[in-house]
Amino acid sequence: MNKTNKKSNDKKWYETVENLNNPVLLTGLAKKIVFEGDKVNKVCFEVASKTQNNKIRRAWITLIDFEKCLEVGKVYDITATIVSNSHNDRMTLEFILEECCEL
């Protein structure tokens, strides 16, 4: 089979997609505030899920809370958007809080 080096369409894949919001739905505990500022809080948010062996595994994510609506020690259902952040040559994933509902 011959390979051809045809230049593909100049458009990036994401330019052809109509909706790029990609919301993430999570339930978890607002564990602690890791950064508190005048315009934004960054909150350590603990989420849990079950493994294939029916054990609990936990993960901690950083939520960017522009509305400052999360309270430490409370459990929430949230909708968030995944973003990447580069600081000191380290790439991290963070989540921007879009909506929250205390449970």
84: confidence class by pLDDT, cuts 50, 70, 90: confident
Distance, in Å, from the CA atom of 81 to the CA atom of 31, rounded to the nearest integer, reads 19
Report field, pTM of the whole predicted structure over 0.75: yes
Say what the pLDDT of residue 22 is: 80
pLDDT at 90: 85
- Cα–Cα distance between 66 and 57 in angstroms, integer? 28
What pLDDT digit, counting tens, does each position of 12-49 carry? 888 888 877 788 999 999 999 999 999 999 999 999 99
Q: Which of 83, 76, 81 is nearest to 100 (CA)?
A: 76
Phi, psi of 13 (to 5 degrees): -60, -35
Beta carbons of 44 and 60 less than 8 angstroms apart: yes
Amino acid at 62: T
* Confidence at residue 3, expressed as pLDDT on a 0 to 100 scale: 58
